[in-house]
Amino acid sequence: MDQRLADLLALLELEQLEVNLFRGASRDIGAPQVFGGQVLGQALSAAAATVEGRVVHSLHAYFLRRGDCNAPIVYQVDRSLDGHSFANRRVVAIQHGQQIFNMAASFQATEAGFDHQIDMPPVPPPEGLADSSGPPAELLARLPERARRLFEQPRPFEFRMVQRIDYLRPQPAAPERQIWFRAVDALGDDEMLHRRLLAYVSDFFLLDTATLPHGTSFLRPGLVMASIDHAMWFHRALRVDDWLLYAMESPSASGARGFARASVFARDGRLVASAAQEGLVRSRKDS
């Protein structure tokens, strides 16, 4: 397996300290805090470790404090419900004696029911788009050191943007974008693994969509961006090692908060998941 993906799988595997208590390592990806997708993925791993015969169908999470990349994270799981069809778990992530994150997740046994969905937007196939996994060399050379370190980190996913974005010279644009993505190597058939990895990667690009109408980006000095909450719904079986389309839009920004939502489509047009996120988006008061 590609080492980048193997490293991510190892990151999402937790050490069990006690019943309902787990510990995960932290990873510095060049951001000033622990990547939100890491905490989402690890918290989902902790919850799933306490559930049998069911797969996650939704999660609702809040980011409370910045995570420290240099310290492990402890995850405490509360077994709120074990019902006939559903199980519910609450997870609290702790660092340095303080809660940095909490999440509720619901798991369901497989069953049949009504079935309908919206259509996938008409976009070019990923094979016709340039690899967007990293910025061009000429752009990389112009980035500040912190941003350059972030972009230079090896990523376990490849991305192909339908709309190209110049983060250094952003122009006002409609608050929507579509990005194809997939894991860099093949994975097994464990549905829960694919959903954990989708939770991890869903934190890329989503909140950025709220900045598009304003001609700015997270690289602009003085712009503060941070996730407040994150929600996901898993609708159908999925594979993150095959191309998925992340179709994002930002219906609103107000009160120093940006809101974005997204649909995740499989290559064959099936709607496999939905996501939503609100985050802090404001200018520094001293800038």
Active site residues: 203, 227, 277
Alpha carbon separation from 6 to 30, 36, 134, 189 (Å, rounded): 19, 19, 20, 16
User: What's the 3-state SS for 108-152?
Assistant: ECCCCCCCCCCCCCCCCCHHHCCCCCCCCHHHHCCCCHHHHHHHH
In terms of Cβ atoms closer than 10 Å to its own Cβ (0-12, 13-18, 19+), residue 261 is middle
Instruction: State how far the Cα of 202 lies from the Cα of 285, in Å rounded to an integer.
Output: 30
For 30: left if phi > 0, alpha if psi spans -120 to 50, otherwise beta; the answer is: left
Do 231 and 275 touch, CB atoms closer than 8 A? yes
How would you label 8-30 residue by residue, b for 16+ Cβ within 10 Å and e otherwise? Answer: bbebbebeeeeebebbbebeebe
49, 53, 55: which is closest to 16 by C-alpha?
49
Strand partners, 264: 246, 273
The residue assigned the tokens 């976009």 is 123
Instruction: State how far the Cα of 158 lies from the Cα of 17, in Å rounded to an integer.
Output: 34
Do 90 and 268 touch, CB atoms closer than 8 A? no
Do 60 and 231 touch, CB atoms closer than 8 A? yes
